[in-house]
Structure 1
Amino acid sequence: MTQGDWQHDVLRELRQDAAAGEPPAHDQPGLSPSTAPAASTATPIEPRGDLPARSAGPFPQAGQGSQQPAVPAAHHPQLPIVTPESMRTIDPRLARAMGHPLQGDSMARRSGRSLRKLTASASQEVAEETRLARLVQQPVTTGRVIAVTSIRGGVGKTTTSALLARTFNHYRHDPVLALEADAALGTLPVRLGAESVRWTCRELAQILTPSMQLTDVTGYLVPVADGGWLLPASQGRVGAPLGTPTYRTVSLSLRRYFAVTVVDCETLPGEVARTAMDTAHARVVVAPMTAEGVGGTRVVLDWLARLPHSALATTVVALTANSPDMTLDLKAATAHLRETGVTVVALPYDRHLAQGGPIHTAQLGQATRRAATSLAAEAMERAVRVR
C-alpha cells in the first residue's frame, strides 16, 4: 500500500464517521503526502550492555513540545479555542505520602541472581534478549495501534499499558504515543510519571487538521520522562466520559504521526473499548491469575473470535499477579487460554508495581522487565501482520 493510499484511507474513515452521524472534529479537505512516514529498510540494532538498544525507524524525531502551544486560528475559525488549565495528576499532599519507590526484586532475590550469574552461562539469555529486541524494533511504514483492555478494573490494565509504552520507548527511536481511552478518572498519566496534564482527547479532537506536522501535534501532548508522548482522556475530574466519535477522530488522526500507539482502553464491554479492540492492529487482554479471571477472559476470547480482521490471531493475553502468593496453576491456566489460539504472557508480582504511583523502569524486577519485553514483542509481531 502506498503512503498516499494509506492517508486517503484514514480520511475516508473519518468521512464515513461523519456520514454515519459521528462528525469528526474538523473537515479534512485532503491529507498532505509530506506528513506521511516514509518506508523503512532499517534493521534492528544489536544490544548494548544488559539491555538491547533502540532501533531507528521511519518516523521523524520530535523535540519536547511546549505545554502551552499557540492554537492556529485557521484551524477552526468558527469555534473559540480556549487553552485548558494545567491540572496536577496527584495532589501535592498525597504525593508526600507516597514514600520512596521500592525495588521490584527483594534484596534476597537480587543476591541470589548475582550468585547464579557466576555459574550459569549468559549466552542463552543474551540471545533471547536480542531476539525479543528485534521483534520490538520491527520497522513499520504505517502507524501500528495496540489496544489494551480487560474484563474488569483493578487487574493491572493501566499498569500493563504503561509497561508497554515504556518498553516501546526504550527500544525504538521513532515516536511512540500512549493514548488513554479510559473513563474520566483513568490513571495512565500517574503511572507514566506525568506531573500535570492540560490538553485531553476532547480538546485535541477540535483542533486537529491534516496540515499539522509532528512538532505541531506534540505541542499538545504530555512528554514522558523516559521518552514518548501521552494524551490523557481527561484531567482527572469527574465529567462526561470519552465518547466513541471523539476516540475515532483522535486515534485515526494521530496514528499517522506515531510508529506505535498504545491505547489504554476502558474495560469491556464498554463502547469505546469495543471500538478500540475492533480497529486496533493488535490487542492485549489483561487478566488476573485467578480462576475467575481466566474463566472470564476465555469468554472474551470467544467473543473476539467472532470479530472481523482475524481478531484472535492478533491478540495476546497478559496474566497478572497481584500477590506474591498466587496459588493458581499457571501452566493449566495458560493451556486453557491457549486453546483459543492466543499467546499468553505472565507478568509476575512486582513490589515496585504493587506500590502504585509512577513506574520507574530501573526499579522493576528483572523478571518483570523480561516479561514486559516479551509482551511488547508478541504484540508488535501481531501488529505488523495487519496490512
Structure 2
Amino acid sequence: MTAKKNGDPEDGSLGVLDDAASVDTTGIGILGGTAQVRVTLPTEDDDDLADDGVVEGEVIGDLIVDDLTLPAAPRPVDDAPRRDEVIEAVVVDEPATAPTPEIATDDTAEEETAAALFLAKAVADRAETAAPIRASASARATTTPVQKTTPVQKETTMPEADGKPVVPAAARPAPRTDVTLTSKRLGELGESARESADLLTPDRLLDPHRVTKPEPEGGWSHLLYTLSGRRLNIGDGRRARERKALTARIAAPLAGGARFVPVLSRKGGVGKTTITALLGMALADAREDRVIAVDANPDRGTLADRVQRPQHGKSVRDLVRIRDDVRGYHDISAIVARDATRLDVLASDADPRVAEAFSDTDYRDVADVAAHYYSLVLTDTGTGIVHSVMSATLDLADQIVIVSGLSVDEARLASETLTWLETNGYAQQARDAIVVLNQSTPGTPLVRLGELEAHFATRARSVVRVPYDPQIAAGGTIVFANLLPETRKAARELAALLVEGLRAKAA
C-alpha cells in the first residue's frame, strides 16, 4: 500500500480513496489534515441475504475520522451494518483551532500500513457483531410468507434469501386469532360418513352373550326349554325360523309415498276379490304402516263382504263427497271397515238404486285422499280391463297382480291380459307383474300346474299358487287366523314378493 503527500495528487483524485480492487484491499489518500475512507465489506457468493428494508448499496451513516481513528462508540447491535452494505466515511475539515495531525510521508509507509490494518480490523469486528442479526433475518426469511402486491400498491422488488423473497417486518400479517378448533371422529371423511339414529339397532349395540333369548318356538325346542327349567334354549325350530324370515320380508320398509297395486282379471269367478282380501290381510298383519283395499268395481262389488262389513254402511262414494273436507285419518276411519289384521276396506256402493257407476274421476279423487294416509293401496278393479276405472288404475299402478283360475280358458285369458298390457303402453308393468294361480275348487286340478307355472314364468316376474281353502270357498267373511296354514303361507309369500318388487323399483 502507498501513500501520497498533501497537495501532490498525481491523478487528480483530491485525496479520495480509490475503489477497492478486491474485497480485502483499501486505498488511502491524504489531503490537508483530513482523510476520506470508503470501506466495502466482504461478500460471499452464496449468501445474498438482505435484511428487512435494507437496499443493497445504501449509505447508512457517516464516519468522522480524526487522526486516523474511528468513532469512540459503536452503533447498537440492531443497527450494525450487514455484510453486503457499504460504509462511507467522510472526514470534514476541522476548525482552525483544531490541531493538525501529522501526515505520513513516503518514508513512513510502515506506519500508514499499520493504520490501514487497524481500520480493517475495526470493520471486521463490526461484521462479527452483525452476524446474529443476519442469522435472525435468515430465520425470518424462511418462515415469513411473501406479501402479495395489490393493484393499488406500488410494486417493488423484494430482496431474496436462499432463493425466497423476504417480506419486511412491517408488512408481515398479524397472527390469526379467530381460528376455531373442531374435533372429528377418526375416519370421518365428510357428511356422507355421518350415521343416522336408525342405525343404532339392538342387534348392533347389544352383546348377544348377555341378552336373554326369547322363549323358543317349535315343538321340541319349547319342550326342551320347559324341561330344563328354562335354562337350555336352543332357539326356534325350522318352521318358526321360516315364518319369522317371511314376516321380515313383508315388513321391510318402503321409502317414499303411497304405492298403488291393482288386482286384475279378465274373467269373473277366478277369485280376484278373494286374492285382494288375502293380500291385504297378509300385508296389514306383518307391517306397521297402514294398508287399505279399495273396491273400485264400477258395479256392485263384494270386497267388503269378505272382511268385516261396516255397520255404518259408508262406501267409496261417501269418501268422494267429503274429499275436500278430510282433515285427518279420523275422517277416513269413519268410512272404512277394519278387520282383525288392521286392514282397512273401502266398500263399493251397494245401493241398487244408484244408476251412476263409479268412474275414472271418482277413483282418482279417492286415490288422492288415500295417498295421504296409507302406504299401500290395493285396488279390486272388477271384471274386465276396459271399464271406466281401468285407465286411472293402470296409470297409478306401481305393481300389478294378475289372477288366473286353474282351467284352460282361465289361464288363456290371464295370459291375454299380459298381452293387452304389453301392447297398450304397460309393457314394463306386465314384465314386473305377479301371477297368482288360484285354486277355487277342491281336489286335484285337471291342468298340470307345472306347465302353467312355466308359461307364466316366461312372461311375468313371479308366480304364486294359492291352494284351496274351505273357509274361502264358503264365500263368507275371511278370518286370516282361521285359514289353513298352507293358505296363510301362500298369501304371505305373495305379500313378500310384492314388497320386494316395490323396493326393487325404488332402488
Unaligned stretches of 5+ residues in structure 2 = 1-195, 204-212, 224-234
1:126 aligns with 2:240: yes
SS at match of 2:468: coil
1:258 aligns with 2:258: no
Question: What residue in structure 1 maps to residue 414 of structure 2?
Answer: 297
Deviation at 1:268, TM superposition (A): 2.1
Aligned match of 1:311 in 420, 429, 432? Answer: 429
1:364 aligns with 2:478: no
Taking the aligned partners of 1:237 and 1:181, their CA distance within structure 2 comes to 16
Q: 1:309 to 1:48 in 2, by over 3 A?
A: farther
Question: What residue in structure 1 maps to residue 440 of structure 2?
Answer: 322
Deviation at 1:123, TM superposition (A): 4.6
Q: Which runs of 4+ in 1 moved over 4 A?
A: 39-51, 121-124
Q: Render the CA deviation track for 1:110-165: whole Å, top value 9, x for unaligned.
A: xxxx9xxx9xx985433432332222112123112211121111111111111111
Taking the aligned partners of 1:50 and 1:366, their CA distance within structure 2 comes to 16
Q: 1:252 to 1:49 in 2, by over 3 A?
A: farther
Question: What residue in structure 1 maps to residue 249 of structure 2?
Answer: 135
Taking the aligned partners of 2:366 and 2:435, their CA distance within structure 1 comes to 26
Aligned match of 1:335 in 450, 454, 474? Answer: 454
Larger Rg: 2
5 Å matches for 1:96-245? 123-140=237-254, 141-209=256-324, 212-237=327-352, 239=354, 240-245=356-361
Q: Render the CA deviation track for 1:16-35: whole Å, top value 9, x for unaligned.
A: xxxxxxxxxxxxxxxxxxxx
Q: Render the CA deviation track for 1:19-57: whole Å, top value 9, x for unaligned.
A: xxxxxxxxxxxxxxxxxxxx9959899999879xxxxxx
SS at match of 1:196: coil
Question: What residue in structure 1 maps to residue 398 of structure 2?
Answer: 281
5 Å matches for 1:347-386? 347-386=466-505
Question: What residue in structure 2 maps to residue 98 of structure 1?
Answer: none
Size of the aligned set, in residue pairs, is 284
For 1:316, the aligned partner's letter is I
Task: Kindly indicate whether the alpha-carbon contact (under 8 Å) linking 2:404 and 2:437 is maintained by their aligned counterparts in 1.
Answer: yes
Q: Render the CA deviation track for 1:84-113: whole Å, top value 9, x for unaligned.
A: xxxxxxxxxxxxxxxxxxxxxxxxxxxxxx
Taking the aligned partners of 1:376 and 1:255, their CA distance within structure 2 comes to 19
SS at match of 1:286: strand
Taking the aligned partners of 1:48 and 1:221, their CA distance within structure 2 comes to 37
Taking the aligned partners of 1:282 and 1:264, their CA distance within structure 2 comes to 13
SS at match of 1:282: coil
For 1:257, the aligned partner's letter is Y
Taking the aligned partners of 1:202 and 1:287, their CA distance within structure 2 comes to 29
Q: 1:281 to 1:261 in 2, by over 3 A?
A: same
Which deviates more, 339-348 or 196-205? 196-205
Higher relative contact order, chain-length normalized (CA < 8 Å, sep 6+): 1
Across the aligned residues of Structure 1 and Structure 2, the Cα RMSD in angstroms comes to 3.3
Deviation at 1:208, TM superposition (A): 1.5
Report sequence identity in percent. 26
Q: 1:177 to 1:312 in 2, by over 3 A?
A: same
For 2:464, the aligned partner's letter is V
For 1:337, the aligned partner's letter is F
Task: Kindly indicate whether the alpha-carbon contact (under 8 Å) linking 1:41 and 1:139 is maintained by their aligned counterparts in 2.
Answer: no
Unaligned stretches of 5+ residues in structure 1 = 1-38, 52-113
Q: 1:215 to 1:314 in 2, by over 3 A?
A: farther
Which deviates more, 198-207 or 371-380? 198-207
Q: 1:279 to 1:48 in 2, by over 3 A?
A: farther
Q: 1:333 to 1:245 in 2, by over 3 A?
A: same
Which deviates more, 40-49 or 261-270? 40-49
Task: Kindly indicate whether the alpha-carbon contact (under 8 Å) linking 1:320 and 1:347 is maintained by their aligned counterparts in 2.
Answer: yes
Q: 1:341 to 1:177 in 2, by over 3 A?
A: closer
For 2:301, the aligned partner's letter is G
Taking the aligned partners of 1:178 and 1:49, their CA distance within structure 2 comes to 35
SS at match of 1:327: coil
Task: Kindly indicate whether the alpha-carbon contact (under 8 Å) linking 1:281 and 1:314 is maintained by their aligned counterparts in 2.
Answer: no
Deviation at 1:261, TM superposition (A): 1.4
Taking the aligned partners of 1:210 and 1:311, their CA distance within structure 2 comes to 34
Q: 1:295 to 1:272 in 2, by over 3 A?
A: same
Deviation at 1:271, TM superposition (A): 3.0
Deviation at 1:302, TM superposition (A): 1.9
Taking the aligned partners of 2:259 and 2:384, their CA distance within structure 1 comes to 21
